[in-house]
Structure 1
Amino acid sequence: MQDQKLSVIEKLGYGAGDMAVNVVISSMMLIITFFYTDVYGLKPQDVALLFILVRMIDAVADPLMGTITDRRTTRWGRYRPYFLIMAVPFGISVFLTFTTPDLSYNLKLVWAYATYLLVMLVFTAVTIPYISLIGVLTADPQERLSANGYRLFFAKVAAFLVTIAVPQLAAVWGRTSSLAAGYKWAMGLMGLMATLLFLFCFFSTTERIQHQVDRKPLREQWRLLLRNDQWLVLAAVCVVGTIGYVIRGSVAAYYAKYYLHGDAAMMSAFMATGVTAAILAMVASTWITKAYCKIKLFRYSQLLVGVLSMLMYVLVKPGDITLAFVLYFLISFVVDLHAPVFWSAIAEAVDYGHARMGKRVSGLAFGGISFCQKAGMGIAGAIVGWLLAGFNYVPDRPQSSFTLTGIALMLTIIPGAFHVLMGGLMYRYRITDDYYQQLKKQIVEETPASADAQPAIAARTTECLS
């Protein structure tokens, strides 16, 4: 396996793929709950059940898609063809999800279930190949970090567009008909953009590394994956971190509207503040990890989120706009310092399992992480819906002090606790850059690491992990 340098164009193309993916992820994390309750008119408890049922059903498709990508390859590669095939269905499914037909309440629920399941399944069909792509673009860990920096930067640009452009366009385009119609056309535009971005990703990237994937039964693949202790750490981190991230992102619109007494412009500005901070974090993380241990950065950033979250809850009172924006910016910046490290670590964990056991499980490993992400999104969505109902939230009405306190907790303390747990879990992750270089040598030799070799490799991690 040889290290490969990536051109700027290829990194831009790789980043464009995640920008397309995040049209869905950002809308699902940041605006879908508010859209369903305050625009489409669904009850919070029904939204909670919708999220957890659909996402859990869809999550089962992730490992299946992972095994499909492992078993099939073409002259364009193993992963890239899905960007070409699924680009148009992806855009259409986004448009349909935000289409709101005038139906009875029960039929509205049926439509919401059907379209939400559709967009999640199409999302799976293109996202599993996408998150697997980094493992075959380059074997250089620094190039992977750099590429993931581009990727996550563009992901946050998509989030920025969803949080800024969509609410504003929806308000403008909905003046002549309804806010629901405005959201439909605004998200339809985002779906079209995603289609074009996937096509650019397909034409601008190259799969250089051809891993030999064993034709193993699914049961054996699961057995091997569950023996990979470093992948298990990342899986747990993904679930816990996604829960915290989605809870905070989902309630941001409610917090701006009700806790800060803002209008649509303030809602957009508040959510965009978080996204802007995250974009800057992508750049900062790539720069910091050139000189500082990536695992320490991961750990300490998430622990710091817990401290900042507590400060925001204690210091910000209803209507304290300036302080709320400042602290929300800081929280959002620190939260996303870990992101490039995490997505690079998945490919490294796959190589770790290959070196340790002599057998490679790639598609299922990436599919399993996507399963964990969607499971976390489903759990978080349900938690948000249940908490809104439990705090007596009623759409488009002045909220009680009890409800406002609940909304503040949902933006600060509750997600902060999940991020502290996330940072704690990373104390069990040990694949540093030095360790990974040794793993690559073992993979080249196609021999599993012997019991005697493991202590020698592990000793190289002491400086970074201590």
Structure 2
Amino acid sequence: MSDSSEKISIVEKIGYSLGDLAANLIFQTLMAFIAFFYTDLYKIPPTTASAIIFFGGMFGAFFNPVMGMIADRTNTRWGKFRPWVLWTSIPFGLSAILAFTTPNFGMTGKIIYALVTYIFLVLIYSANNLPYASLSGVMTGDMKERNSISSYRFTAVMIAQFIIQVFLLPLALIMGDGDRALGFEKVMMTFAITGTIFFIITFLTTKERIIPSVEQSSSVKQDLSDLFKNKPWIMMCGVVIFIFVTVSLKGGMYVYYFEDFINNQNLDNFLSDIGFYGFIDGLNNMFVGMGLHGFQWPKEVATSGYSLFNALATIFMIVGITFSKRLADKYGKRDVFKYGVLISALFQLSFIFCSPQAIGLIFLIQVLHGLSYGVTIPLLWAMIADVADYSEVVNNRRATAIIFSAMIFGLKVGLSVGGALVAGILGWFGYAETIPVQSDLTVLGIKLSMSIIPAVTFFIAVGFLFFYEIDKNKEVEIEQELTRRRSTKVN
């Protein structure tokens, strides 16, 4: 098995990170808006939307191990994983456009169309993102370089998250001339074209340096057997599931939180007092002066509040990311991740004490939550790469893609359950998309989905980390052992 611990260039790190920016323009939209898109824009009942998100997502989740086995057995002159980033770039964009298009069918036709296009999207996502994630595990064997790559990568994730959570709703209103459904189609088309270009750049700028020995081979049965004997993998799979249940649930509920929970008048006063409207007026005037008369920030209080709420959280997540590598190098990825999630869970829980009028407190909690959670963001996939290294040490052969595919399986399960919970909880608590003011029961469901429920799922994720054995000392031990083995083979 060949290996290189050479320093990875900034160009390659940026090129690799653009792949995550491309994927997350779609992935973040799914997490934040798929339930809202189905219920409020495509007018599918909440319980039906919940079923589509769950069953469609689970279909994609079970495809991941299959894709992992395919990717591990792919051999081309470009490597195992890079070709898949290229091959799926155009289909990924096409699937995103179709999934967020609203053809004028009857209810049965809408349901069938939504289910088919959602399944298509999550299948293509797996075929693209699994090899992309696996690529980070074979670009270098150096743990510190791997942490650095993860920091670049998840800075790109935060940029995508900022674009989606801050600008998507305003852009949909602007590009659709007030028609959100049409606006979503136009925005997703823009994202699809941009993402395709970024995936091609990722393919062209990256290199696979850890190449399995020619003599390495294994059966599917052996792959699965090794996987289920790998305790760190089992623990990380649990972590991934509950992290993404939480992220998908709370992220998907934000738009309802601003539309139906927060007091509109208090929010309007808050935005005025902090100078938000003055800033927007200046921005609008600047665009008019540039001749861009169509680009005017929409005059909707909930949309403005939602955008600022997410903007502040994302900015402070990026601040948290800047501390991540240094903390992980000093204390180890596991401990930094564990305590970062624990602290962010406590902040999430504190939303239960916020009244609809407590706008300043709501924004402050979100800022603190973003800061503490941001520290954990680059570490998750770097920890999964460590699990692949652990598997190689124990089994004396590398199976990067099957490890990552199992984790992305957990991600898809979490995304499916979390997204389905958004629509399911709304349906359970009597949400009606056709009425301007929701019942007290519905508002309670929204509040619980922003506080107690996601805090509990975060706490469960922390619980798994107490049984994850790859701490700082184990990281060093694994790295040294693999370096020794690879240098011996080369010599």
Regarding TM over 0.5, the answer is: yes
Alpha-carbon offset, residue 446 of structure 1: 5.0
Gaps of 5+ in 1: 448-466
Separation of aligned partners in 2, 1:62 and 1:37: 28
Within 5 Å, give how 1:450-465 maps onto structure 2: none
Aligned to 2:310: 271
Asked if the contact 1:310/1:412 (under 8 Å) is kept, the reply is yes
SS in 1 for 2:378: helix
Aligned to 2:423: 385
Question: Which piece of structure 1 moves more, 280-289 or 94-103?
Answer: 280-289
Asked if the contact 1:59/1:370 (under 8 Å) is kept, the reply is yes
Asked if the contact 1:91/1:195 (under 8 Å) is kept, the reply is yes
Asked if the contact 2:5/2:142 (under 8 Å) is kept, the reply is yes
Indicate the RMSD between aligned Cα atoms, in angstroms. 1.7
Letter in 2 for 1:36: Y
Aligned to 1:406: 445
Aligned to 1:371: 409
Deviations 1:148-181 (A, max 9, x none): 01101101111111122221111012227x3211
Matched, 1:7 2:4: no
Matched, 1:207 2:208: yes
Alpha-carbon offset, residue 444 of structure 1: 4.8
Matched, 1:134 2:172: no
SS in 2 for 1:418: helix
Question: Which piece of structure 1 moves more, 280-289 or 154-163?
Answer: 280-289
Letter in 2 for 1:382: A
Alpha-carbon offset, residue 30 of structure 1: 0.7
Asked if the contact 2:176/2:182 (under 8 Å) is kept, the reply is yes
Letter in 1 for 2:413: A
Alpha-carbon offset, residue 381 of structure 1: 1.6
Separation of aligned partners in 2, 1:73 and 1:357: 21
Aligned to 1:56: 58
Asked if the contact 2:351/2:450 (under 8 Å) is kept, the reply is no
Matched, 1:179 2:217: no
Report % sequence identity: 29
Separation of aligned partners in 2, 1:443 and 1:88: 37
SS in 1 for 2:141: coil
Aligned to 2:107: 105
Alpha-carbon offset, residue 445 of structure 1: 5.4
Separation of aligned partners in 2, 1:128 and 1:439: 23
Asked if the contact 2:26/2:191 (under 8 Å) is kept, the reply is no
2:477 pairs with one of 416, 420, 438: 438
SS in 2 for 1:392: coil
Within 5 Å, give how 1:28-39 maps onto structure 2: 28-39=30-41
Asked if the contact 2:143/2:479 (under 8 Å) is kept, the reply is no
Separation of aligned partners in 2, 1:295 and 1:125: 28
Separation of aligned partners in 2, 1:283 and 1:194: 25
Asked if the contact 2:54/2:417 (under 8 Å) is kept, the reply is yes
Aligned to 1:456: none
Letter in 1 for 2:429: F
Separation of aligned partners in 2, 1:38 and 1:410: 18
Separation of aligned partners in 2, 1:257 and 1:292: 41
Within 5 Å, give how 1:20-419 maps onto structure 2: 20-175=22-177, 178-212=179-213, 214-260=216-262, 261=264, 262-314=301-353, 316-395=354-433, 396-419=435-458
Gaps of 5+ in 2: 265-300, 487-491
Aligned to 2:21: 19
Distance 1:336 1:264, change over 3 A: same
Separation of aligned partners in 1, 2:350 and 2:165: 25
Alpha-carbon offset, residue 285 of structure 1: 1.4
Question: Which piece of structure 1 moves more, 39-48 or 389-398?
Answer: 389-398
Q: How many equivalent residue pairs?
A: 445
Separation of aligned partners in 2, 1:135 and 1:367: 12
SS in 2 for 1:103: coil
Separation of aligned partners in 2, 1:287 and 1:412: 30
Aligned to 1:421: 460
Letter in 1 for 2:357: G
Separation of aligned partners in 1, 2:55 and 2:144: 39
SS in 2 for 1:291: helix
Separation of aligned partners in 1, 2:349 and 2:479: 42
Alpha-carbon offset, residue 13 of structure 1: 0.8
Deviations 1:263-291 (A, max 9, x none): 22222222333333322222221233233
Alpha-carbon offset, residue 113 of structure 1: 0.8
Aligned to 2:274: none
TM-score (norm 2): 0.87
Alpha-carbon offset, residue 254 of structure 1: 0.6
SS in 1 for 2:431: coil
Alpha-carbon offset, residue 199 of structure 1: 0.9
Separation of aligned partners in 1, 2:44 and 2:314: 27
Letter in 2 for 1:8: I
